[in-house]
Amino acid sequence: MENKGGVTIPRWAFGLAAAVVALLVVLVIVLIPRGGDNSNTSASGGSNGAAQSKATSTVAAGTCGAGASDDQAVLDAAPKDTTWVTTDEGWIGPVSKTAGPMANSPIRNCFEHSAEGALYAATWAYIQVNSTPDSYMPTVIGPGADSARESRTKKSTTTVPVVGYRYISYTPERAAIRILIKLPSGTYRSTDVVMEWHDGDWRFWIPSTLPSFSSADPDEFITWGS
C-alpha cells in the first residue's frame, strides 16, 4: 500500500492503471488513418476509371452498317489508309474499311457518319453522277434534284480523276466539299459538292442552281487521289 495525500492506494491499482494506458495507446495507433494507403487507393481507383472509360461518338451511326465518328482530321489533312479502286466504267474512286462505301450495288453507298465518310461520299457522288447516272441520280435530293435528273441521263465518255479536295464547311448534318479534278489537257477544275445526312446515309444535295466547274489552283487544295 502507498499513502498519497492521506489516501491509501493499493499497489495493484498502479499496475492496472499502467495496463489501461498501454491499451489506449495501442488503440489510438491502430485507429489513426494512414494517409499513404488512402491516397494509393484513390489513385488506383482513378486509374481504373480512366482505363475503363471509352470515347464514343456524339452522332448516330447509319442504318446500313457503317459507323460514326467525331474525328474531323480530314478537314486539314488527307485521309490515311485509302484504297483506290477502278470501276467497271474505268473511274477510280476511294474505299476505306471504316469510312466506306460499305455497299457497291447498284451504287457505291453506305458511308460512315463523319467528316471522312462525307468526303468519300462526295467523291463517289461526283464519280457516279458521271459514270452511272441511271442508278445514282434517283438518290439525289435538294431543290435542284429534279432538274439534275433531267439533265444527267447519259454517262460521261471521258473519265476525269479526282486529285484533291478542300473542305468548305462541315456539321454532322451537312458537308460542303470542293472537289478538284484534272482534265486530260492537264488543267485543273473544281466543283462544290454538298452532302446531307439523310435517312441514315450521306446523300448528294443539289441546289436550285445546278453545280458547275470553274478553274482551280491545285496549291489551294489538299492533294488526294489515285
pLDDT of the residue at 109: 97
pLDDT of the residue at 56: 59
Residue 43 in this model has a pLDDT that exceeds 90: no
Our separate counts of H helices and E strands in the chain read: 5, 10
Amino acid identity for residue 178 in this structure: R
- For 155, the 3-state DSSP assignment is coil
d(CA 91, CA 84): 10
Residue 8 in this model has a pLDDT that exceeds 50: no
pTM of the model: 0.75
pLDDT of the residue at 53: 29
Residue 153 in this model has a pLDDT that exceeds 80: yes
d(CA 6, CA 70): 88
CA dihedral angle for residue 102, residue 104, residue 108, residue 113, rounded to 10 degrees = -10
pLDDT of the residue at 1: 46
Report whether the peptide linkage leading into residue 106 is cis, meaning its omega lies within 30 degrees of zero: yes
The three three-digit cell numbers of residue 84, written as one number: 483506290
pLDDT bucket at 35, cuts 50 / 70 / 90: very low
Average pLDDT over residues 62-76: 93
pLDDT of the residue at 25: 35
Comparing CA positions, the residue from 80, 121, 99, 75 lying closest to residue 222 is: 75
Q: Choose the weakest-confidence range: 12-21, 60-69, 96-105.
A: 12-21
Residue 55 in this model has a pLDDT that exceeds 80: no
Q: Choose the weakest-confidence range: 25-34, 90-99, 181-190.
A: 25-34
| pLDDT top residue among 48 and 144 | 144
d(CA 12, CA 2): 11
The three three-digit cell numbers of residue 178, written as one number: 470542293
Comparing CA positions, the residue from 187, 188, 201, 214 lying closest to residue 110 is: 201
Residue 216 in this model has a pLDDT that exceeds 60: yes
